[in-house]
Amino acid sequence: MALDSASTFLFVPGDRRDRFGKAAASGADVVVLDLEDAVAPGDKDAAREDARGWLAAGGRGVVRINAAGTKWFEADAELVRAAQAPVMLPKTEQPAVLAELTGLPVIALVETALGVENARAFAAAPGVARLAFGSVDLAAQLGVAHDDRAAMDPARSRLVLASAAAGLPAPIDGVTTRLDDLARAGEDARRARRLGFGGKLCVHPRQVEPVRTAFAPTTSELAWARRIVKTAGLSAAAIDGQLVDKPVVDRARRLLEAHARGEIR
């Protein structure tokens, strides 16, 4: 599935090549080969070679490289350039660093206060495919709990607005760290969708299905969209007691078109 329409992004540690195939078979729209937080400093070079081998053999995935300014960044950037692989750039803060990844689709992971403040600028930069929210790192910087919704939602909304202003697809929400609570993963995803997100990062294969379900339109939503498209005319009208004008009709049509393409199920 294309990056712009994917809703489930599954991380797999870059130094666990034995898990790459399992992640690809998990049903996730996108597998993210993680060379950053999931890999200890002493294993970075080996993980990079494992990712290189997987991609060279025809495996597919986004590569989360190490952040600009780290000693691994240049070698990681060389890997994704050579493989022409989509890349997730952690701790994105300034548009200038994106020049190192020219020609590649980039998911800009926003994990710092400066990144949130500058999100509008790099969302408009060439090559940026989507924004993603790094809630855990940002919460640590702010001194709040990463699962405190009241504390984190203002930053989430900033990413939604920055994406819309730049004409990007809806951003990707951060992880749910409670691995044994699949209901929480689904609940977090449904809430993110209400805020305007279009996908979510997953850290375990079991989270994929509840997240996918949460981002799919419900039966009642599809019925509403079909009724709006069928009933609405060229001017504003009242349908089911609600004012319906062009923006509402456009939203209904987009939902039905995406569903028909299989982008949301």
> 10 Å Cβ neighbour count for 240?
9
Residue 63's contacts (CB-CB under 8 Å, 6 or more residues apart) are 14, 32, 33, 35, 51, 55, 76, 79, 80, 83, 85, 86, 87, 88
111 is in an annotated binding site: yes
48 is in an annotated binding site: no
Two tokens, residue 187:
């609940």
**How do beta strands 237-239 and 242-244 pair?**
antiparallel
Closest to 30 measured CA to CA, from 219, 208, 247, 261: 208
Two tokens, residue 64:
């989360």
Phi, psi of 3 (to 5 degrees): -60, -35
Q: How far apart, in whole angstroms, are the C-alpha atoms of residue 217 and residue 75?
A: 41
64 is in an annotated binding site: yes
- Residues forming the annotated binding site? 64, 111, 137
- Could you tell me which residues are annotated as the binding site for Mg(2+)? 111, 137
Q: What are the binding residues for substrate?
A: 64, 111
